[in-house]
Structure 1
Amino acid sequence: MVTIPIIDLTAFTNGDTITRQNIIKQIYQACHKIGFMYLQNSGISKDLIKQVFNYSKSFFNLPLEVKQKQAWSDEFNNTGYVSLERERLDPNKPGDLKEAFNVNKRAAMEIDASILAFYDSCTELANTVLQAYALALELPEDFFITRHNQQNHTLRLLHYPSLQIPPKPGQVRAGEHSDYGSITLLFQDDVGGLEVQTASGNWIAAPAIPDTVVVNTGDLMQRWTNDMFCSTKHRVMIPSDNKVKQSRYSMAFFCHPNDDTEIACLESCQKEQSPIYPPILAGEYLLSRLQATYGNS
């Protein structure tokens, strides 16, 4: 039975050499086998996370016409409000039963002090994770950090409304998909619904575990590592119990390399097989995936 491991980050940040090496191995195994992990002791304050969840709820409670004034306009900017069913993460299914608000660094500075503080805290946590990834792949420890230093990350506030009417056939809260960037940090409430696909094709639940952050590997990291780290398909399903009457809230922090970073197979990942993917610029890849996501809505 495949399970998503729980890893204590303080053992990496504050541990001695042997403890750190053990955590690096655990992170390598998590990325290699399932592409998902839970991180304990992330260093992000519970109060700050609560403040951002509260901000998110108050934003999504606004009338639709007010939210639409900040509507997402194009994939080049990739910021603003995305309305219900506007996105179709699985192109073969109806639009997703969710609404979202995308924030980049510039927008975070203009919105609210808690949003900016959270964006910065997530950036710091992402850099720690990227450092561990680099060490796990026998690279200089700042290899990934320097290639993410323009902070092209997107903070995405998400709301999955309670269901008042039955969904369309095949419709879910978020269709099956993989993430586009290098890594994603996910903060979720306790309503549940997140599912992760294992290597054998089975779907397993990834419920909220108190005081943890979910971390998963994205497509660009999979390309960089020649499939040694997997960008795993995941989805958000509609609850089959009374929780269907509850809204679900989550916050995803999508880490993306600098646009001009060439994503080419790492030398340490060519030992077992020659490069699978041709080199691509990080910015071009993101653009192509966003166009595919929104182009059919």
Structure 2
Amino acid sequence: MAAKQEETLLSRCEIPIIDLAHIGTDVCPMKSVVRRIGQQLFTALSTKGLAVLVNHGIADEKLKSVYGDLDNFCALPEGCQAQYLRNPVSNHGYVRPGMDQFDNTKTELRHSFNITTLNAASMPAQEEVPEFTKHAVPLAQDLTKLSRALLQALAYALGVPPGTFLDCHSGMMQGDGRNPSIMRLLYYPPVPPEDEGPCCQSDVVHYTRCGAHADYGTFTLIAQDSEGGLGVKLNGSEKWQAVGHLPGAILVQTGEFLAAWTANLLPALVHRVVVPAGSYARARSRHCVAFFCHPDNDAVLPALPIRAAPVPAPPAFTPHPHLTLHHRLLNAAHHIQKRFKETYA
């Protein structure tokens, strides 16, 4: 008898799916399609907090190649990995398990490699991971272009000129320190068996893969394998629900900046990655690529036209204490550095 499949938001058709076919490029977009996508994106993010993008033009083979490269990096000796540890100023580099933490009650099992510059000299050397740069750079460029297209779509939906958001995110992946956008490669290793099943030992180690949090920036693009574990609290709900997997799709969800900028019309979604149930699933690894789209450090964010609140109305907006708004200047650099200090040990 086949094992019962986990019920997810995708299996229940509760996450809006947005088709990006015929959108054009970020440099030469098809305006009518971008307007349609913008309205669909606004509706999805305002009511659910996330959406699924299909026909986005990023081949699944590119993601699998990067997953393999990260596996090879994580297999290197610790001394070799140490050459590439995260730079706290640029946020670029390798993050060992335990260096960043969202849930202080559990051990978070997660390796990540933050990419904030496409300079080959900042990547693992060719003799260590031969094709890391060859695979990572084109993927980062693709996700940057996709982000630029979505920024234009959101601008149309929010009633401002299409270049408004682009101007505030002009430094993405430029490597000059003026924009903190990140492509993060994530590897979640198999879970040790001692955390499996009921146990009365007081010193047992409990594991998770990523604790509950909301992302810091404008929005996040998430590409993941089929191993599962991603859970969210939908807008207005305190219930954790599994997202599920749609082959070839990319998730998009709102970050704290866009939530603040829209007075929470587009709320930031709280999410986590849990350890799956069952010994077979726990013995398998999980891979993901997350692209965190952030505004430039000195971005001056113009006022947005007032829109009617979506139905159902979002909860009252309580901004993060480090998110400051002064004369319409949203200090991205201050906010992101404070949030990094909270996250990284």
Q: TM-score, normalised by structure 2?
A: 0.77
Is 1:50 paired with 2:64? yes
Map 1:12-161; keep pairs closer than 5 Å.
12-13=23-24, 17=32, 21-74=35-88, 76-90=89-103, 92-107=104-119, 110-111=122-123, 112-151=133-172, 152=179, 153-161=181-189
Q: 1:226 aligns with which of 255, 259, 263?
A: 263
Task: Verify the 8 A CA contact 2:208 2:275 in the aligned structure 1.
Answer: yes
> Which stretch shows the higher mean deviation, 119-128 or 59-68?
59-68
SS of equivalent residue, structure 2 residue 84 = coil
SS of equivalent residue, structure 1 residue 196 = strand
Task: Verify the 8 A CA contact 1:193 1:205 in the aligned structure 2.
Answer: yes
More helix per residue: 1
Is 1:5 paired with 2:26? no
Report how many residues are paired. 291
Measured in 2, the distance between the counterparts of 1:159 and 1:7 equals: 27
Structure 1, unaligned runs of 5 or more: none
1:208-234 per-residue CA deviation (whole Å, 9 max, x = no partner) reads 211111111111111111101011000
**How has the CA–CA distance of structure 1 residues 69 and 110 changed in structure 2, closer, same or farther, with 3 Å as cutoff?**
closer
SS of equivalent residue, structure 1 residue 253 = strand
Is 1:213 paired with 2:225? no
1:123-176 per-residue CA deviation (whole Å, 9 max, x = no partner) reads 000001111111111111111111111113211111111012434666410000
**How has the CA–CA distance of structure 1 residues 59 and 275 changed in structure 2, closer, same or farther, with 3 Å as cutoff?**
closer
Task: Verify the 8 A CA contact 1:96 1:175 in the aligned structure 2.
Answer: yes
SS of equivalent residue, structure 1 residue 267 = coil
> Which stretch shows the higher mean deviation, 117-126 or 25-34?
25-34
Task: Verify the 8 A CA contact 1:12 1:24 in the aligned structure 2.
Answer: no
Following TM superposition, by how much is the alpha carbon of 1:105 offset from its aligned partner in structure 2, in angstroms?
Answer: 2.0
Map 1:237-248; keep pairs closer than 5 Å.
237-241=274-278, 242-248=280-286
- The residue aligned with 1:287 is 337
- The residue aligned with 2:175 is none
Following TM superposition, by how much is the alpha carbon of 1:94 offset from its aligned partner in structure 2, in angstroms?
Answer: 3.1
Following TM superposition, by how much is the alpha carbon of 1:247 offset from its aligned partner in structure 2, in angstroms?
Answer: 0.7
Following TM superposition, by how much is the alpha carbon of 1:20 offset from its aligned partner in structure 2, in angstroms?
Answer: 5.1
Measured in 1, the distance between the counterparts of 2:218 and 2:31 equals: 27
Structure 2, unaligned runs of 5 or more: 1-11, 124-132, 173-178, 196-203
> Which stretch shows the higher mean deviation, 107-116 or 205-214?
107-116
Is 1:260 paired with 2:310? no
Q: TM-score, normalised by structure 1?
A: 0.89
Task: Verify the 8 A CA contact 2:35 2:153 in the aligned structure 1.
Answer: no
2:294 is matched by which residue type in structure 1? H
2:54 is matched by which residue type in structure 1? Q
SS of equivalent residue, structure 1 residue 260 = coil
Q: 1:166 aligns with which of 183, 191, 194?
A: 194
**How has the CA–CA distance of structure 1 residues 157 and 20 changed in structure 2, closer, same or farther, with 3 Å as cutoff?**
closer
Task: Verify the 8 A CA contact 1:93 1:175 in the aligned structure 2.
Answer: no
1:283 is matched by which residue type in structure 2? A
> Which stretch shows the higher mean deviation, 270-279 or 40-49?
270-279
SS of equivalent residue, structure 2 residue 298 = coil
**How has the CA–CA distance of structure 1 residues 16 and 183 changed in structure 2, closer, same or farther, with 3 Å as cutoff?**
closer
